[in-house]
């Protein structure tokens, strides 16, 4: 079930990467992505992807198979994006470009191949950083940290947490409505009406949730925190390390 993939085990929460403030991890991910936008080379994104994976496995105690499962669809997507961008690149039609190979009517140039592979590498970097972030970050801690350290509005943050927790419920609703159609003798596994049904149920669930939160005085004034989140030396270490690694990645000669 989806729920299992959303839940972290205790060793991961207690790992060094699990203890870094979620806001700091989020900032690192964003800074890395911005940094990668300044280069089209292949090595920097691959280097950062490798760093993220090693850190996830070693400092984040993510079990290897879990990380492999979480990133597998994105690896496939990266390959597909790389191939399609290589094959359909405008550079292939440029007579001045250096020809790499031709497959039947398709001519592939070196420029197109370099751009395609570069793009695939960036997708891989984004996927690995994102996977390591989500596999080492407890959703409750992320929300607490967003509210306390990044001053995000509690209404938005806790609303998002509630919606996030409802994801498995939407899956169940879809399955039930499909079964309801079948047992009423209706054909077609993926009728568009199903989407309307799931949407209606999601909105009603959201309404009830909002009602329950209001009844518990949510948003009625200043709030305190049961789990105060403060800054630790580990946040500083992580930030400095992340910046150094980004600089190294961008500085490596090709």
Partner 1 sequence: MSFELPAGHALLVVGPSGSGKSTLALAIGGLIPRDIPAAVGGHLALDDREIRSLAPAAVAARIGMVWQDPDSQLVMERVEDDVAFGLENRAWPRPAMSSRIPGLLDEVGLDGLERQRSRRLSGGQQQRLALAGALAPRPGVLVLDEPTANLDPAGALAFMERLASLRAERSTTIVLIEHLVEAAWPMADRVLALDGEGRPIDFGTPQEVERRSAARLRDAGIWLPAAVERRIRDGAMAAPARPSRPEPAAEASPIITATDLRFGFDRREPVIRDLHVRIDAGERVALVGPNGSGKTTLARLLVGLLRPDLGTVRLLGDDPARLAPAELARRAAYIFQDPERQFLAQTVEEEVLLGLRFAQRPAARILMGRMGLPLDRFGRRSPYRLSGGEQRRLSLATALVREPAVLVLDEPTFGQDRFGYEGLLEILDERLAAGATLIAATHDQRFVADATTRSIELDGGWIVSDERSL
By the criterion CB under 8 A, which residues form the site for partner 1? 1, 3-4, 7, 139-140, 158, 161-162, 165, 168-169, 173, 176-177, 179-187, 193, 197, 200-201, 204-205, 208-228
β-partners of residue 106 are 103
β-partners of residue 107 are 102
Q: Closer CB to partner 1, residue 29 or residue 209? A: 209
Q: Closer CB to partner 1, residue 118 or residue 159? A: 159
Q: Closer CB to partner 1, residue 54 or residue 208? A: 208
| Residue 48 contacts residue 246 (beta carbons within 8 Å) | yes
Q: How far is the CB of 11 from partner 1 (least distance, A)?
A: 14
Q: How far is the CB of 225 from partner 1 (least distance, A)?
A: 6
| Residue 117 contacts residue 42 (beta carbons within 8 Å) | yes
Q: How far is the CB of 212 from partner 1 (least distance, A)?
A: 4
How far is 254 from 251, CA to CA, in rounded Å?
A: 9
Q: Closer CB to partner 1, residue 224 or residue 254? A: 224
Greatest distance between any 2 Cα atoms in the chain? 69
Vertex 179: Cα angle to 173 and 185 (nearest 5): 140
Q: How far is the CB of 174 from partner 1 (least distance, A)?
A: 10
Going by the DSSP 8-state scheme, the letter that residue 183 receives in this structure is H
Q: How far is the CB of 223 from partner 1 (least distance, A)?
A: 5
Alpha carbon separation from 115 to 45, 53, 133, 185 (Å, rounded): 13, 24, 27, 52
The strand pair at 106-109 and 99-103 is best described as antiparallel
Q: Closer CB to partner 1, residue 228 or residue 253? A: 228
Q: Closer CB to partner 1, residue 3 or residue 248? A: 3
How far is 56 from 64, CA to CA, in rounded Å?
A: 9
Q: How far is the CB of 64 from partner 1 (least distance, A)?
A: 18
Q: Which positions ≥6 away from 161 have C-beta within 8 Å?
A: 139, 140, 143
Q: With residue 46 as reference, give the H or E element that holds it.
A: helix 43-58
Q: How far is the CB of 227 from partner 1 (least distance, A)?
A: 7
Q: Closer CB to partner 1, residue 104 or residue 221? A: 221
């Amino acid at each position: 079930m989806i729920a299992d993939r959303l839940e972290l085990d205790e060793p991961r929460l207690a790992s060094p990467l699990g203890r870094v403030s979620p806001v700091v991890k989020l900032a690192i991910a964003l800074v890395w992505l911005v940094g990668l936008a300044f280069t089209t080379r292949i090595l920097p994104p691959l280097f950062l992807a490798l760093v993220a994976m090693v850190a996830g496995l070693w400092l984040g105690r993510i079990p290897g198979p879990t990380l492999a499962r979480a990133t597998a669809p994105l690896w496939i997507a990266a390959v597909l994006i790389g191939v399609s961008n290589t094959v359909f690149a405008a550079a292939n039609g440029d007579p001045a470009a250096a020809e790499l190979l031709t497959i039947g009517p398709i001519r592939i140039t070196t420029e197109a191949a370099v751009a395609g592979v570069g793009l695939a590498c960036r997708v891989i970097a984004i996927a690995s950083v994102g996977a390591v972030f989500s596999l080492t970050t407890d959703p409750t801690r992320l929300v607490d940290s967003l509210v306390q350290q990044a001053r995000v509005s509690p209404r938005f943050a806790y609303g998002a947490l509630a919606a996030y927790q409802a994801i498995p419920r939407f899956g169940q609703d879809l399955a039930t409505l499909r079964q309801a159609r079948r047992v009423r003798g209706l054909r077609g596994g993926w009728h568009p009406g199903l989407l309307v049904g799931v949407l209606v149920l999601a909105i009603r669930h959201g309404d009830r949730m909002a009602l329950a939160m209001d009844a518990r005085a949510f948003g009625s004034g200043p709030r305190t925190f049961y789990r105060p989140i403060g800054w630790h030396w580990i946040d500083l270490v992580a930030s400095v390390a992340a910046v150094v690694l980004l600089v190294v990645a961008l500085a490596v000669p090709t």
